[in-house]
Chains A and B, each alone.
With several copies, the nearest count.
Chain A
Amino acid sequence: MVDLSVKIAGICLKNPVMVASGTFGFAREYSRMFDVNELGAVVTKGITLLPKEGNPPPRLFETTAGLLNSVGLENPGVEGFIRDEWPYLKTLQVPVIVNIAGETVEEYRRITQCLSPLEGISALEVNISCPNVEKGGMAFGRHPDSAYEVVRAVKEQSPFPVIAKLSPNVSDIREIALAVEEAGADAVSLINTILGMAVDVEKKRPVFKRVFAGLSGPAVKPIALRMVYEVYEAVRIPVIGMGGIFSWRDAVEFILAGASAVAVGSAIFSDPVAPLKIIRGLEDYAARNLQTRISDLVGLAHRNAAEF
């Protein structure tokens, strides 16, 4: 029997496969299709202090093996979240991680305060990497100082463990990872989407009104994997890896590269039960490789790289 459980930021997950923020709504939507309690953890759509309309359509555009999104953090705001979504989420038997975003450090602080009373939140994931909003978001995640500031502010208020979600749109992601570790983050998650765009050749203009959008999906996997590998070497806090995970094989690559857990995002649109298939695939892989604990695989590629 393989022990799939992992521990991150003080949370115990029965398996290392979570869903990525923004691709799984508030879990309720997919709970109509399968038992979401089979997941390692659920991560909510990003929540802001006030409700957010989001961006005008189109919000999605497919690229080769990738997906551009410009959702723009549409969400019901923290009050709406607590009123409409939390009652269902708190019934889940798996850890629930709430993803939060803000335009100012003060907003991050206040949203943390609003969420603090909710018993049952397992962790906050601090989104300092959303490329689809006018203010805040990725702007914080591109500089070590502002990343530090936001995470520090959340950490000061939060009764929950804090995961910092990093942006890949930087020269050196290790710098940012070190800054948030310094600020007290209990874990880092990466990557958020990569800034990209598409042009409509008939209309001769950008597909998206905001011109740029965030790229996710299998296309970005090699980049995400590299960043996980880099960050694993730079920090001591656990790394949650994501970006283009489509199959158990991808998940194994991330784990070997240093991810203590992984998140599946865009692949869910292709196959809602992809995370469950990945869990089973991981189990088989570990068994085949005579590992009794999946956690023994974390970062193994680093040790083996040294020898080759």
Chain B
Amino acid sequence: MHQAEIILNEKVAHSIYLLRLRANKVAEGANPGQFLHVKCTKGPHPLLRRPFSIAGAHREEGTADIIYRVVGEGTSILSKKRPGEVLDIMGPLGRGFPLPLPGTLPLIVGGGVGVAPLLFLAKELNKAGLVGRAFLGFSTAREAFGKEIFETCGFSVELTTDDGTHGKRGFPTELLEDYLKSEKKVKAIVYACGPRMLLLKVKEIAVSFGILAYLSLEERMGCGIGACFGCAVKSAKGGYKKVCWDGPVFEAGEVEIW
């Protein structure tokens, strides 16, 4: 738990904000896929913290980013915070994306604000000398973000929108499938974050192509550190796993998404 100063809190797309925090511990220790558990108010309502994936960590500046979509009370309060204000955060928490084995091509699949942790991942892959492909989907053009960052990291980026206003009309999982079909011999690993339907589809594709996929899941969270059993996801082996502690990133085969 620390009090982190807000450096920046800016709209990057329609109802999507980037929030930058001065947070040395996060900047130094965070892995892509981990999250911050953020207190939106001091008061008793909304009671719970809100989890957000870390979208970037800048070790030199001692800062870290989250990118969030305004969907309800907590994120709406967040969007009104100004630089200079202080945010109470816990983290980095959870288990992030494992780096690919040498010689494996990273394929990134992101949907909507689920692109956030994948930006951080792309940067870290790039630092490790790895580049790959990114398939990104958004509802509509004005909600798209992040393309340039993937490109800066050396990724080739393909985009879809649900309504066809930007990139191809359709879903990024279709691009993934097409790519895998066309590149049969490639040894790939998939990293995905986005709506449940997207994750489900990625899992299906990974199974059918026999490749490894890592999915970042979402579940409502209480404690964020494994103490309350609130963030259960069905384990493939029976019983439940904790999204906050065993995840949020899981190998697709570990969990039952639906």
Contacts and interface: CB of A to CB of B under 8 A. Distances in A.
Direct contact, A vs B (beta carbon within 8 Å): yes
Interface of A: 22-26, 29-30, 32-33, 45, 53-62, 64-67, 69, 71, 74-75, 217-218, 246, 266-273
Given A25-B223, A29-B227, A269-B222, A56 B234 contact: yes
Given A23-B223, A69-B230, A269 B240 contact: no
A272 B220 CA distance: 18
5 contacts: A45-B227, A60-B220, A67-B48, A270-B47, A270-B49
A126 B229 CA distance: 20
Contact of B48 (A25, A56, A270, A273): A270
B39 interface: yes
Given A33-B225, A272-B223, 4 more contacts: A24-B227, A53-B239, A55-B232, A266-B222
Interface in B203-258: 219-234, 238-240
Contacts of B39: 270-271
A272 B216 CA distance: 25
B47 A66 contact: yes
Contacts, number: 109
B interface: dominant SS:
loop
A26 B223 CA distance: 13
Nearest to B221: A60
B208 to A, nearest CB: 26
Interface residues of B, number: 29
A71 B225 contact: no
B29 interface: no
Contacts of A66: 47
B44 interface: yes
Given A57-B233, A60-B220, A60-B222, A218 B227 contact: no
Contacts of B228: 22-23, 25, 60, 69, 71, 269
B1 A269 contact: no
Interface of B: 1, 39, 44-49, 88, 90, 219-234, 238-240
A100 B221 CA distance: 24
A62 B240 contact: no
A64 B44 contact: yes
B44 A217 contact: yes
A218 B44 CA distance: 7
Nearest to A51: B239
Contacts of B229: 22, 25, 45, 54, 59, 71, 74-75
A270 B38 CA distance: 9
B79 to A, nearest CB: 18
Contacts of A69: 222, 228, 230
A60 B231 contact: yes
Contacts of B240: 53-54, 57, 74
Contacts of A56: 232, 234
Contacts of B227: 23-26, 29-30, 45
B230 A71 contact: yes
Among A30, A246, A268, A270, max chain B CB count under 10 A is at A270
B45 A64 contact: yes
Contact of A62 (B48, B224, B231): B48
Contacts of A30: 225, 227
A123 to B, nearest CB: 21
Contacts of A59: 220, 229-232
B129 to A, nearest CB: 33
A195 B234 CA distance: 25
A121 B115 CA distance: 48
A66 B44 CA distance: 9
A33 B39 CA distance: 16
B220 A65 contact: no
A57 B234 CA distance: 8
B230 A65 contact: no
Contacts of A62: 46-48, 220
B47 A269 contact: yes
B44 A246 contact: yes
A65 B46 CA distance: 6
Nearest to A268: B223
Contacts of A57: 219-220, 231-234, 240
B233 to A, nearest CB: 6
A194 to B, nearest CB: 15
A272 B48 CA distance: 11
Contacts of A24: 227
A25 B226 contact: yes
